[in-house]
Structure 1
Amino acid sequence: MNTSAQKKVPPLVLIVDDDKSMRILLRQAMKKEGYQVAEAKDGEECLTVYDRLQPDIVLLDAMMPVMDGFTCCTQLQTLFAGEPKPVLMITGLDDQASVDRAFEVGAIDYVTKPIHWAVLRQRVRRLLQQFQLYKQLEEANQALQRLATSDSLTQLANRRRFDEYLNQELQRLAREAAPLSLVLCDVDFFKSYNDTYGHQAGDDCLQQVAQAIARSVRRPTDLVARYGGEEFAVLLPNTNAEGAVRVAEKICSEVKALKIAHTKSQLSTCLTLSVGVASTVFYHESSSAMLISAADKALYQAKAKGRDRIVVVPLSAPHPSVSR
């Protein structure tokens, strides 16, 4: 038996009307359709109740004291624009100007008084269905976005996301003349690891390393990405070389703590990393390629010097030509 289906929560309808008898009639009609109901007697109370309960639809009277429905609808669009909710305006005004105004302030549909109850029920049902489809589409789009920007094996950001974020942060930090650091990590002798233990073990190894690197990077503005193959990249905005080295040391420590056996390593019986670090303060003449090239050079030197180490390549960006 599908208990989750049995416990599906019915939609919540927020009724906003200064006329108590009208609220009672609307409540009865919505309850009869199986909906949950909340009430507010004017626009100001509507905003408070909406913020607290996040209803699925608002039945909003146009003409009310304190704050009318038009003003309230405008406030709803302004204050809670993160996820639009359907607003159905109920009005005794049926002139074209009032109808146009209802749509201008964000109402999706309207009915006039006296209410034709069958029409109201049908429109509420249709709006709720449309909103449900909208939510499903948003969730699908978000899932597609995650797929497009994440690495399927490690669940880290992929190279595409890395490039996007690097260019985004480069523009932001150039305006602030703030530092940006890049840490490139490469699993030592990974080919021999794959040859010895098999590709499935190699995938498991990369997943563990990815998690260890992610544990070492805690700020929400930092980005950990799978750069390619057994190589990982860590972008550290507002971080100088000294701070980047501390992060790199933490990463190496976390990976060694995994104690992943690597009997064919020429360095140790456990898996290790070679790490290249580059850091600079960017200005408008700078490019992302400059930082990547420097970090790649540092990683190459770490490998050439025997691996299982961190190398920093100093990088100086050109200063602005304007005098300070």
Structure 2
Amino acid sequence: MSRNPEFKKKPPFILIVDEDASRRGLLVRAMQNEEYGVFEASNGEEGLKRARECKPDLVLLDADLPILDGFECCGQIQSMMGETAPAILMMIVGNDNAAIDRAFEAGATDFLSKPIHWTVLRQRVGRILASRWAIAQLQRQIQREHLLTEQLERANQQLQRLALIDRLTQIANRRYFDQHLSQQWNQLAREESSLSLIMCDIDWFKSYNDTYGHQAGDECLQTIANLLSDSVKRAGDLVARYGGEEFAIVLSHTDTKGALQLAESIRETLKERAIPHKNSPINDVVTLSLGVASMIPTPKSSANKLIAEADDALYQAKESGRDMTCLAQSTAT
């Protein structure tokens, strides 16, 4: 049987365990002629030790060993080495069916009748090693494919994440906002609990961009996004870039009072940051106008109503002079 060319890169190791020194010598020479790496042991206990040390690919094991016979030695090798156990070719006198059954029960891969037919020996050793090599290759291929699958899944997750994140500010984008608000609306409709929305708009942002340049404008957007994110901590809440210089904050299980307190805290905190805005008609630092709306969702209505009311409140804040927080009229009543 022709040997696998892959063996030339790393010759398989064979452990020969046989008390008969003359036969063991013949086996050693036969395997060395096949260019296998060869180890040898004269009894079962030594065979166990050598198997543990050299980790062979195949053990040629005589069944008729003293003290620890080949069947017991075979079983102990399998138990000791587990998944890394070598193939075991048991050498049995004649065609003793009982001995053959014991060999397979002990975990042997195949058997070889004594006296040994050398052509049969070479063929069986070659076949067993080629089979083990093919299985090892298949396992490595499966591992590679598993790794590639994991990498692909991580890449898909990353792509999905990127599809929901605003690239400039690294907070949720409008698409993520729409999904999250809808989910919260449906959940809180079942719970009959309050849902609030804060719409924020940077005052006179076009003037800021014209004065300081678009890079400074981008940095301003990033600063405010970070400020908003730092203000919202709960799992059901969300800060999103709604569009341009406008942001939205979804507040789960939050009533009007809580939403107003947060909106005012954000507005005052931004003013304390004192980001210069020398051409603002209302202040010499960057400011925010905010609109707040709160309601208890119902199954028969949609989140669009909450968005419309928060947007109306924001428009009211801008029309009333900016740098202020206004509450939706329906909420106020």
Task: With the length of structure 2 as denominator, give the TM-score of the two structures.
Answer: 0.61
Cα distance between partner residues in 1 of 2:76 and 2:309:
71
In the alignment, which of 230, 235, 239 is matched to residue 245 of structure 2?
230
Q: Which residue of 2 aligns with 1:139?
A: 154
* Corresponding residue pairs, total: 217
Uncovered stretches (5+) of structure 1, i.e. residues with no partner: 1-18, 30-91, 93-112, 317-324
**CA contact 2:313–2:329 (8 Å) conserved in 1:** no
| Aligned partners of 1:295 and 1:313 also within 8 Å | yes
Please point out which of 178, 181, 186 is paired with 2:196: 181
For residues 1-324 of structure 1, the aligned pairs below 5 Å read 21-22=77-78, 24=81, 26-27=83-84, 116-315=131-330
Residue 24 of structure 1 aligns to which amino acid in structure 2? M
Q: Deviations over 1:21-54 (max 9, x none)?
A: 325153367xxxxxxxxxxxxxxxxxxxxxxxxx
**Alignment partner, residue 21 of structure 2:** none
Check the 8 A contact 2:77/2:85 in 1, yes or no: no
Larger Rg belongs to: 2
How has the CA–CA distance of structure 1 residues 168 and 20 changed in structure 2, closer, same or farther, with 3 Å as cutoff? farther
Asked if 1 retains the 8 angstrom alpha-carbon contact of 2:184 and 2:236, the reply is no
CA contact (8 A) 2:199 2:314 kept: yes
Distance of 1:116 and 1:28 partners within structure 2: 15
**Alpha carbons of structure 1 residues 238 and 122: separation in structure 2 relative to 1, 3 Å:** same
What corresponds to 2:123 in structure 1?
none
Change (3 A) 1:255 1:230: same
The answer to whether the 8 Å contact 1:279/1:314 transfers is no
Counterpart Cα distance in 2 of 1:308 and 1:261:
15
Q: What amino acid is the match of 2:255? A: N
Distance 1:120 1:245, change over 3 A: same
Cα offset, 1:290, TM superposition: 0.5
Percent of paired sites with the same residue? 47
Kept after mapping to 1: 8 A contact 2:228/2:239: yes
CA deviation after TM superposition for structure 1 residue 118, in Å: 2.0
Tell whether the 8 Å contact from 2:260 to 2:292 is kept in structure 1 after alignment. Answer: yes
What is the deviation of 1:289? 1.2
Q: CA deviation at 1:314?
A: 4.3
AA at the equivalent of 1:296: D
Sort the Cα spacing of 1:119 and 1:267 in 2 relative to 1 into closer, same or farther, 3 A: same
Give CA deviations for 1:194-213 in whole Å, capped at 9, x if unaligned.
Answer: 11111111111111111111
Q: SS in structure 2 opposite 1:184?
A: strand
Q: In the alignment, is the contact (CA less than 8 A) between 1:185 and 1:275 conserved in 2?
A: yes
TM-score, structure 1 normalization: 0.63
